[in-house]
Structure 1
Amino acid sequence: MYGNQPSAPARYAAELLLRAGARDVVELGAGHGRDALFFARQGFSVQATDFSGVGLEQARDAARSMGIGARLTTALHDVREPLPLADASADGVFAHMLLCMALSTEEIKRLVREVRRVLRPGGTFVYTVRHTGDAHYGTGIAHGDDIHEHGGFAVHFFSRHLVDALAEGWELDEVHAFEEGDLPRRLWRVTQRVSR
């Protein structure tokens, strides 16, 4: 759907994490692996998780063909469940448009608590979400909790209040507005860190 080139947020996250001396990166909702493979090519040890075993298999095959198979591990995972990772086991976590899937606010809050659990002190979480300024917000079928379905695809649109609530107890470094795609989709790229 999005091609094979890494997303702009992944490029940003890789540069930020490299500057911070990060080694281990987790990507949540990795899909077929375009961003996870990019992180591995940058030298990170990458744990890619996704709900689709097919996508993860494609990512593993691509990593082997690129000679970076040893840097990429995968885990089939539903983000509504606890992350299959040890406490303080990663330097960075990345999630591009995963948190704005059809997840309830409570499920999102639980997931962010899990991200904090697996990050080491000083670890960074970079995520992107569509927000309430997006053209599709308030259109289509309303499911409550700021979730709207348009064209058969349900999205949880983030308010700034939700972003701030998810950053409670973290150091919120940046909320960067950007656009992507043809509509265009309006998103925020959020960068927050665990205190050292």
Structure 2
Amino acid sequence: MNIPKNGLRHRMSKVWDKIYESDSAFFGDEPSHFATLCLREMKTNNVKKLLELGAGQGRDSIFFASNGIQVAALDYSNAGIEIILNKTKKEKKGLQVNSKTFDIRNALPFPNNYFDAVYSHMFLNMKFSQDELNFIISEIRRVLKDGGFNFFSVRNNHDNFYRKGMEIEKGIYDINGFEIRFFTEKDIQDLLGGHFQLLWIKEMSEDPVTLYLICYKKNL
């Protein structure tokens, strides 16, 4: 399946290019709290190959790689991917991060049953249609090994910005020029359907953002 690009997605990639070019550590250099939480689960379950979707400037990808995990990092911002490439080149540890500019609305460039885990941090909050979200989840399931893990975080309906700004689609709001989808627990359950088993869901607040931190396992 190949979903053509549109002007909005191109515009948003340019927005992120500008942000990343102005600050090479826009989200900080330290890994996210979610990444440190997931790493414990990954180590316990012997995760060796990981795909990160929406890798940004690579703070979590590089963190996972520095802990011995082979990482494929995808993002549709050219500037973000260039920063990841530069950061990994500067490292003297031979980090295994294969980074690539990619539009996630297209089929993932990996074979079936390839990864032990897929990880994304606030990536699914981007302005994806419901059909696009369903396609993304189907592709995650395809590239995961049986029993593989799907770790993701999303802003939820307890977030301070939920229902603020203009609602442009159901559950999606324009917040200062960024079009953000907010998730309820039911939204998450409906999205993952019967193809994954929920292992845990936690809530974390870092004002003004409130997140669900989630781990699903691919059904055998």
TM norm structure 2: 0.85
| Structure number with higher helix proportion | 2
Amino acid of the structure 2 residue aligned with 1:162: D
Show structure 1 runs of 5+ residues with no match: none
What secondary structure is seen at the aligned counterpart in 2 of 1:17? helix
What is the count of residue pairs matched by the alignment? 194
Query: 2:217 aligned to 190, 193, 196, which one?
Result: 193
Partner of 2:197: 171
Give how far 1:70 is off.
Answer: 5.0
What secondary structure is seen at the aligned counterpart in 2 of 1:92? strand
Q: Is the 8 A contact 1:104 1:145 kept in 2?
A: no
The CA distance in 1 between the partners of 2:129 and 2:184, in whole Å, is 13
Partner of 1:31: 56
What secondary structure is seen at the aligned counterpart in 1 of 2:50? strand
What secondary structure is seen at the aligned counterpart in 1 of 2:123? coil
Partner of 1:115: 140
TM norm structure 1: 0.95
The CA distance in 1 between the partners of 2:94 and 2:159, in whole Å, is 38
Cα RMSD for the two superposed structures: 1.2
Deviations 1:67-123 (A, max 9, x none): 244511012111111111111110011000000111112211110111010000111
Q: Is the 8 A contact 1:60 1:69 kept in 2?
A: no
What secondary structure is seen at the aligned counterpart in 1 of 2:27? coil
Amino acid of the structure 2 residue aligned with 1:194: K
Is 2:130 the counterpart of 1:99?
A: no
Give how far 1:133 is off.
Answer: 1.5
Is 2:43 the counterpart of 1:18?
A: yes
Give how far 1:147 is off.
Answer: 0.3
The CA distance in 2 between the partners of 1:83 and 1:39, in whole Å, is 20
Structure 1 residues 68 and 83 mapped into 2: Cα distance closer, same or farther (>3 Å)?
farther
Q: Is the 8 A contact 1:49 1:74 kept in 2?
A: yes
Partner of 1:74: 99
Show structure 2 runs of 5+ residues with no match: 1-25
Deviations 1:112-152 (A, max 9, x none): 11101000011101000001121111110110221001111
The CA distance in 2 between the partners of 1:7 and 1:70, in whole Å, is 18
Partner of 2:7: none
**Percentage identity across paired residues of the two chains:** 29
Deviations 1:152-180 (A, max 9, x none): 11100012111101222211111111012
Structure 1 residues 69 and 57 mapped into 2: Cα distance closer, same or farther (>3 Å)?
farther
Deviations 1:41-63 (A, max 9, x none): 00000000000122111111111
What secondary structure is seen at the aligned counterpart in 2 of 1:167? helix
Q: Is the 8 A contact 1:173 1:192 kept in 2?
A: yes
The CA distance in 1 between the partners of 2:88 and 2:95, in whole Å, is 8
The CA distance in 2 between the partners of 1:118 and 1:67, in whole Å, is 30
Structure 1 residues 76 and 69 mapped into 2: Cα distance closer, same or farther (>3 Å)?
farther
The CA distance in 1 between the partners of 2:134 and 2:169, in whole Å, is 17
Q: Is the 8 A contact 2:51 2:118 kept in 1?
A: yes
Q: Is the 8 A contact 2:66 2:95 kept in 1?
A: no
